[in-house]
Amino acid sequence: MNPTILAATTGRILRQLRHDRRTIALLAVVPTALLTLLYHMYADQPTAPGQPSAFDRIALVMLGVFPFIVMFLVTSIAMLRERTTGTLERLLTTPLGKLDLLFGYGLAFGLAATVQAGLAAGVAYWLFDLDTAGSPGLVVLISVVDAVLGVALGLLCSAFARTEFQAVQFMPVVVAPQILLCGLFVRRDQMAGWLGAVSDVLPLSYAVEALQEVGRHAEPTGTMWRDLAVVGGTIVVALVLGAATLRRRTG
Amino acid sequence: METAVEVRDLVVTRGRRPVLHGISCTIPRGSITGLLGPSGSGKTTLLRAVVGVQVVAGGSVTVLGEPAGSPRLRRRVGYLTQAPSVYADLTVRENARYFARLHGLGAAEADRVLGAVGLADAAGQLVGTLSGGQRSRASLACALIGRPELLILDEPTVGQDPVLRNELWEMFRAMAADGCTLVVSSHVMDEAARCDRLLLIREGRLIADDTLAGIRAAAGTDDVEAAFLNLVRARATTPVSAEGGAR
């Protein structure tokens, strides 16, 4: 990797985003709007004494899940466009390295995700009184790491799609099982053994567990740091695998 | 004369279908070589092999003394793809500056190439709002970044008005005079007169590799289109008599 080229590529992707006002608006507004929906859904639900409210429990997890979904979709389409418009082929004839490109996407959309997660967490805490034992800063940090996980998986999956129709359909394939098995609907230790095993190899399970740890404990726990490291490792592996799918020579 | 590109027995297949059948040719430095042939004849495939982005089934391509596609060539070879490959959601200037930075160059180089293709006035416009001809010139500008020693241009003049086309050819000529080697593909036969040498390609085979004068003499006509036809007919009848005799 070359720092100048990486910085140029990150800047280029952010500039493309800047010209696309509607996408910026969607990135900023959608997670917040969904949280609002969630807040009103659970407004009249009774809360068992000593337990977190349903909104607190679900909104906390959603602060990690929404950026993951959004960034997965945005990135897989953006990368597919690089392939179909010929810019990828051109880039690979220049001094740019494959990792410069993939980490450029990771950085650029990671920055966008920071803004998105900051807004969503701000609304959840200030407007909807989200209550977590741990620090909101950690919640934002984990949300951003989740978003970058979405970016990395989106980049990898876009290699297996030839059209935007196909790319969009990877979303339910890759994202939906992770949401179902992440421990939000059924606690992971209460799942059938084989489902638990599947859940154990899905990165989102760790991201969600990390958020739940922040919800329960005032100080960051060892489990939370371990979970975050697992997600971080998955990001790096996905980006390197993604780079391996980029071929300078094609048929 | 020094050789810029040497192609030896190049074979390219797509699926099981051969696209190039053992092409050999050499391209001298500091010249403009025209690659002419109908759509689907293998022009783009041959150019991609020279740039080093084409999977090849056999033969060799040597570019500026190194195997095509070597990492060191990425600073020395400029490539214009047939379909404009620039970012539609960036301005012309942002595109040029990005490609300049990939080569370690600054805004001055970006401005230079935009001026060279006549897009200085449109620099602030989004590429997505440009006309087809402007968009392909934006793409050409990005290929000129860093003054490459070898410039591979796949149909650079398509969709340009005659005045601009003339200006682009004058620029190509000036670049060749400075020592740059240009390979320019076209399916417009009247651009042949602008080139030092011509490669005529049809159905994945070279049917001529000569100067325009040489091709005219061999085909017995001054018109390039007619010369192309004559050479195709000559090939169909001479080499394999059994096949040719049946026609």
Q: What is the 3-state secondary structure (H, E, C) of B131-169?
A: CHHHHHHHHHHHHHCCCCCEEEEECCCCCCCHHHHHHHH
Express each pLDDT in B159-184 by its tens digit: 888 888 999 999 999 999 999 999 99
C-alpha to C-alpha distances, A70 to A177, A207, B66, B202, nearest whole angstrom: 16, 16, 44, 48
Retrieve residue B14's tokens: 């797509």
ipTM confidence score: 0.89
> Using H for helix, E for strand and C for coil, what is the string for chain B?
CCEEEEEEEEEEEECCEEEEEEEEEEEECCCEEEEECCCCCCHHHHHHHHHCCECCCEEEEEECCEECCCHHHHHCEEEECCCCCCCCCCEHHHHHHHHHHHCCCCHHHHHHHHHHCCCHHHCCCEHHHCCHHHHHHHHHHHHHCCCCCEEEEECCCCCCCHHHHHHHHHHHHHHHHCCCEEEEEECCHHHHHHCCEEEEEECCEEEEEECHHHHHHHHCCCCHHHHHHHHHHHHHHCCCHHHHHCC
The sign of the CA dihedral A106, A109, A115, A121 is negative
- In this prediction, residue A250 has a pLDDT band, given cuts at 50, 70 and 90, of confident
Are B53 and A93 within 8 A, CB to CB? Answer: yes
A241 to chain B, closest Cα gap in Å:
20
B84 to chain A, closest Cα gap in Å:
8
pLDDT value of position B122 = 95
Q: Find out whether B195 and B32 touch, Cβ atoms under 8 Å.
A: yes
pLDDT value of position B224 = 79
Interface test mutation site (partner A, options B89, B145, B152, max chain A beta carbons within 10 A): B89
The sign of the CA dihedral B108, B109, B113, B116 is positive
Q: Which residues of A touch B104 (CB under 8 A)?
A: 4, 95
A83 to chain B, closest Cα gap in Å:
10
Express each pLDDT in A129-160 by its tens digit: 999 999 999 999 999 999 999 999 999 999 88
Are B102 and A86 within 8 A, CB to CB? Answer: no
Q: Which residues of A touch B14 (CB under 8 A)?
A: 251
Are A95 and B104 within 8 A, CB to CB? Answer: yes
- Nearest beta carbon to residue B98 from set A12, A20, A86: A12
C-alpha to C-alpha distances, A96 to A5, A6, A56, A91, B112, nearest whole angstrom: 6, 8, 45, 6, 22
> Using H for helix, E for strand and C for coil, what is the string for B35-52?
EECCCCCCHHHHHHHHHC
Q: Is the pLDDT of residue B188 over 70?
A: yes
Q: What percent of chain A has pLDDT over 70?
A: 100
- In this prediction, residue B247 has a pLDDT band, given cuts at 50, 70 and 90, of very low
Express each pLDDT in A24-80 by its tens digit: 998 889 999 999 999 999 888 888 887 888 899 999 999 999 999 999 999 999 999
Instruction: Give the list of residues 6+ apart from residue B240 with CB closer than 8 angstroms, or none.
Output: none
- In this prediction, residue B190 has a pLDDT band, given cuts at 50, 70 and 90, of confident
B246 to chain A, closest Cα gap in Å:
35
- Nearest beta carbon to residue A90 from set B54, B85, B126: B85
B161 to chain A, closest Cα gap in Å:
24
Q: Is the pLDDT of residue A122 over 80?
A: yes
- Nearest beta carbon to residue B54 from set A11, A12, A249: A249
- Interface membership of A18 toward B (CB under 8 Å): no
- Per-residue pLDDT, averaged over B223-227, amounts to 81
Name the pTM for this structure. Answer: 0.89
